[in-house]
A and B are shown apart, each in its own frame.
Chain A
Amino acid sequence: MANLRDIRDRIASVKNTQQITKAMKMVAAARLKKAQDRVVATRPYAASIAKVIGKLASEASSENPYLRTAEQQDKILLIIVSSDRGLCGGFNTNLFRFIEDQIKTNFSQQQENGTLELVCIGRKSFDHFRKRGYNVKRSHVGFFDKLQFDSAAAVMRTATQEFLNSEHDAVYLAFNEFKSVITQNRVMTQLLPLDVSYQDDTGDDNTNYIYEPSAKAILESIIPLHLNTQIWKATLESNASEHGARMAAMDNATENASEIMRQLKLKYNQARQAAITTEISEIVSGAEALSN
């Protein structure tokens, strides 16, 4: 039978851990609320830009540099949005597994040739992919400490510039999409060359606009804004998902700690009872020996 004090110490330590996980859960919940608000705040802007691009889609021509489609997609840039911190369940590992599967099925050739380059946002993705010999071109560690539009847009601006310089044939983005507090969708989307056909014109208004300077020029100037918004939305969604995942993970941990504590308490009481029983029987047998 385990020592009484050992068990008592274990209970105290589990209790400590539980307090930490409980606190982390509450912090995650508070941050989740904030992160969700930011996702919501960006929606009208993103929707308006998508609508304008839809209206201008008919102006899209092969001359538009953002629509340039290479005959063969040899040089790929993949932007990965993960988290900086751990303790958020399968948030990162699931995403990485998904990305590795996608690379295997879609870009195995490029991976072999070394023309698949990665941009890692978040420490976790950088650590993971660098260790496994992927070609990590740039990394942004500590990105989520101060999540700002400017820093997200800067990542995209550099990538866009490289695409325009033909350093890449296509730019992809992979991240955790926020579905609900406990579920994330892992998605991989193509950013460049831009596909404008899906932004179909609602057709409800056939207004004749005056364009200044021209529809083509406006489309070309608004596409970078659209791209920056895409990556900004991805980082916000990933951030919200991360806090959701951490909240769920910490909730589980708190529950598990309760379960362990319950079992330890049972063991402790058993040990205590056994000790008392032994003591009584010793006293009784001592008294009996005296009376004889």
Chain B
Amino acid sequence: MKPFEVQILTPNGSVFNGTVTGIKLPGTEGNFEVLYNHASLMSGLEVGVITIKNDSKVDYIAVSGGFVEVNSNKVTVLAESAEPKEEIDLQRALESKKRAEERLAAEKKNAVDQIRAELALSRAMNRIKVAQQ
């Protein structure tokens, strides 16, 4: 398999920058994989896992939504937060999961708070999932 360039950028800097042979992404329309010579594409990303394959080596990165651009064998992922499996603070994720669940269990406030708590919960669960992979 031919390698191509992948860049994962966040407001706090670059999380991944290198060549890979395949990358799986959690698109808004479902998961998909990008390989060498993929057509140009722009897609939104859901909260989920990015799987980076380098021949037989596999890396997991937790991402909290964002955006991906594929163009002439260069993949750019833009996300407000992205953490490689090794850097996930499991303790913190468990705590924020608990907090989000408490907020959801409490009396229903307005719709915006509800959505925020649900999003926070899904991000926390995603981190836990990746960390335990």
| Sample (8) of A-B pairs whose CB atoms are under 8 Å apart | A41-B13, A42-B11, A149-B81, A207-B40, A212-B43, A213-B29, A218-B43, A225-B80
A141 at the interface (CB under 8 A from B): no
Main secondary structure of the interface of A (DSSP, over half): helix
Query: What residues of B have a CB within 8 angstroms of the CB of A207 in the complex?
Result: 40, 71-72
Is the C-beta of A60 less than 8 angstroms from some C-beta in chain B?
no
Name the CB-closest residue of B to A229.
B11
From residue 40 to 73 of chain A, which have CB atoms closer than 8 A to chain B?
Answer: 41-42, 44-46, 48-49, 52, 55-56
How would residues 15 to 39 of chain B score, 1 for a CB under 8 Å from any chain A CB and 0 otherwise?
A: 0000000000001110000000001
What are the 6 tightest A-B residue pairs by CB atom distance, in nearest-first order? A41-B13, A212-B43, A45-B9, A207-B40, A210-B41, A149-B11
Q: A213-B44, A225-B78 are in contact. List 5 more A-B contacts (CB 8 A).
A: A44-B14, A208-B40, A217-B44, A218-B42, A218-B67
Chain B interface bracket (under 10, 10 to 19, 20 to 34, 35 or more): 20 to 34
Which residues of chain A have C-beta atoms less than 8 A from B40's C-beta? Answer: 207-210
Chain B residues, CB < 8 A from A217? 44
Q: How far is the CA of A228 from the CA of B55 in the complex (A)?
A: 36
Most buried by A among B28, B39, B42: B42
Chain A residues 199 to 254 lying within 8 A of chain B, measured CB to CB, are 205, 207-213, 215, 217-218, 221-222, 225, 228-229, 232
B67 touches A212 (CB 8 A): no
Distance, CA A149 to CA B10, complexed state (A): 10
- The answer to whether B12 and A209 touch across the interface, beta carbons within 8 angstroms, is no
Please classify the interface of chain B as helix (H, G, I), strand (E, B), loop, or mixed, using the class held by over half of its residues. Answer: strand
Q: Is the CB of B13 within 8 A of A52?
A: no
Q: CA of A284 to CA of B72 in the docked complex: distance in angstroms?
A: 100
For residue B40, give the distance in angstroms from its CB to the closest CB of chain A.
5
Contact B80 A228 (CB under 8 A): yes
Instruction: Flag whether A185 is at the interface (Cβ < 8 A).
Output: no
- B67 engages A52 (CB within 8 Å): yes
* A218–B27 alpha-carbon span in the complex (Å): 12
Q: How far is the CA of A149 from the CA of B12 in the complex (A)?
A: 8
Closest to A56 in B: B42
Chain B residues, Cβ within 8 Å of A222: 44, 67, 78
**Nearest A residue to B32 by beta-carbon distance?**
A212
Query: How far is A210 from B32 in the complex, measured between Cα atoms in Å?
Result: 13
Would B66 and A225 count as touching, CB distance under 8 A?
Answer: yes
Decide: B28 and A213 in contact? CB cutoff 8 A.
yes
Contact, CB under 8 Å: A161 / B42: no
Residues on B lying within 8 angstroms of A by beta carbon are 7, 9-14, 27-29, 39-44, 66-67, 69, 71-72, 76, 78, 80-81, 112
Interface positions of A from 62 to 118, Cβ below 8 Å from B: none
- Complex CA–CA separation, A149 to B15 (angstroms): 15
A153 at the interface (CB under 8 A from B): yes
State in angstroms the CA–CA spacing of A246 and B5 once bound together.
42
CB–CB A52/B44 < 8 A: no
Name the CB-closest residue of A to B44. A221
Task: Output the nearest chain B residue to A37 by Cβ-Cβ distance.
Answer: B13
A215 contacts which of B14, B42, B69, B76 (Cβ < 8 Å)? B42
Decide if A45 touches B28 in the complex (CB within 8 Å).
Answer: no
Chain B residues positioned under 8 Å from A229 (CB to CB): 11
CA distance A10 to B80 in the complex (A): 54
Chain A residues contacting B72 (CB-CB under 8 Å) are: 207
Residues of chain A lying within 8 A (CB to CB) of residue B7:
44
Q: Are B13 and A225 in contact (CB under 8 A)?
A: no
Q: Contact at A42–B42, with CB atoms within 8 Å?
A: no
CB distance from B36 to the nearest CB of A (A): 17
> Please, which residues of chain A bring their CB within 8 A of the CB of B66?
225
Q: How far is the CA of A208 from the CA of B41 in the complex (A)?
A: 8
Give min CB distance, B109 to chain A, whole Å. Answer: 14
